[in-house]
Amino acid sequence: MSSKKEEKYKDKNKDKKNKECNCCCIEGIFEELKMRIGHVVTVYTKHNQNFSRRIHKVNSDILVLEDVPSPFPTYIVIPLCEISIFVYEDPSL
């Protein structure tokens, strides 16, 4: 019985998450960040935090920034829904 309750709970949370993050601008942010993997960006969140780091990975839900490089890398994970804006300066300019 507990497994059915857990599944129902997970489904409820999944639907809630999709409603919160389901916005047309998320797709645009994802596409722009995907083109800049390996480059340094400054990300501003909805909670007035900013991070200037190299993009390690991005998918349709999260952005992963490399905080400290090797030998012991650490990462900052930011949900795409929390991003207000990001700034990228083209090094070729």
Residue 22 structure tokens: 């389901």
- In contact, 38 and 23? CB cutoff 8 Å: no
**pTM, full prediction:** 0.72
**Longest distance between any two alpha carbons in the chain, whole Å:** 61
**pLDDT band with cut points at 50, 70 and 90 for residue 89:** confident
Please give the share of the chain, as a percent, with pLDDT higher than 90: 56
The secondary element (H helix, E strand) that includes residue 65 is: strand 62-68
Which domains are delineated in the chain?
Answer: 2-87 (2.30.30.100)
Residues 37-79: pLDDT tens digits? 999 999 999 999 999 999 999 999 999 999 887 788 899 999 9
